[in-house]
């Protein structure tokens, strides 16, 4: 993987020095165009990686090293020495990323703890023994799901700063899933809700995705806030009909 990164460093060096190189370049045939496209693609991608990891580099040294390997097949240092230096750099980058991730975890955890402490005293907010918090927006009168029930719901999910990460409303399609097939906070809440209810859920990290987060939008130790409408507790016949429709 890191060999590819080093190769990309060469290409980004060319990209950053485009005033020198592109003035003398003419794409005469498909081979030229493909070669240029590879370099441009690698360069643009690596530029973001270099900026993201704050990697210091000497563009001329990279170009010379690439040229020595490609044309001369030998360099100013041995291949073993080069590999050792690359491994050292790779380890430094991994340590830096881990340190950055740990800072984010602690920062988000503190925000989550403060949020739930503040919400605990808000009118209408119920805090369960697990730490789940909810507020009833509308109380339904229908069935209450069990652990093994299938439910149909509408929902919108946001972080505590208001950023939305998911919404069945925007898809114009309710979600159907088993009560025991979602995050712990959802499972606990659904088993308390009556069919027809609409609740606001405030789910702490340990009942959501913990310190691993989920995808690009939910970071580590994030509290998740959901508006949830329990539209229907579905029986076996309804599930069979739904499967046939699919």
**Residue 234's CB: how many other CB atoms inside 10 A?**
19
**Token duo for residue 20:** 């020198």
Instruction: Check if the beta carbon of residue 119 is closer than 8 Å to that of residue 135.
Output: no
Euclidean distance between CA atoms 112 and 222, whole angstroms: 6
Catalytic positions: 155, 165-166, 183, 209, 226
Euclidean distance between CA atoms 129 and 151, whole angstroms: 24
Spell out the SS3 assignment of 156-214. Answer: EEEECCCCEEEEHHHHCCCEEEEHHHCCHHHHHHHCCCCCCCEEEEEECHHHCCHHHCE
Provide the Cα torsion 213, 201, 187, 164; round to 10°.
-40
Instruction: Check if the beta carbon of residue 153 is closer than 8 Å to that of residue 174.
Output: yes
Residue 182 makes CB contacts below 8 A (sequence gap 6+) with 190
Instruction: Check if the beta carbon of residue 221 is closer than 8 Å to that of residue 101.
Output: no
């Amino acid at each position: 993987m890191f060999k590819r990164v080093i190769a990309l460093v060469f290409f980004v060096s060319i990209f950053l020095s485009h005033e020198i190189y592109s003035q003398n370049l003419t794409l005469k045939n498909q081979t030229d165009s493909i070669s240029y496209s590879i370099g441009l693609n690698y360069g643009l991608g690596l530029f973001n990686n270099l900026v993201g990891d704050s990697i210091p580099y000497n563009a001329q040294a990279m170009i010379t090293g690439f040229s020595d390997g490609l044309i001369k097949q030998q360099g100013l240092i041995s291949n073993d020495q080069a590999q050792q230096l690359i491994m050292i750099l790779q380890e430094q980058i991994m340590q830096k990323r881990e340190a950055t991730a740990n800072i984010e975890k602690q920062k988000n955890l503190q925000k989550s703890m403060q949020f739930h402490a503040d919400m605990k005293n808000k009118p209408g907010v119920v805090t369960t023994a697990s730490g789940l918090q909810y507020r009833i927006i509308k109380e339904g009168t229908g069935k209450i799901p069990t652990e093994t029930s299938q439910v149909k719901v509408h929902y919108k999910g946001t972080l505590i700063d208001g950023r939305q990460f998911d919404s069945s409303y925007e898809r114009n399609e309710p979600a159907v899933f088993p009560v025991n097939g979602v995050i712990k906070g959802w499972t606990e809440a659904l088993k308390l809700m009556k069919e027809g209810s609409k609740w606001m859920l405030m789910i702490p990290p340990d009942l959501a995705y913990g310190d691993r987060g989920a995808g690009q939008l939910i970071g580590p130790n994030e509290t998740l806030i959901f508006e949830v409408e329990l539209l229907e507790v579905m029986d076996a016949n309804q599930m069979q009909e739904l499967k046939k429709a699919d």
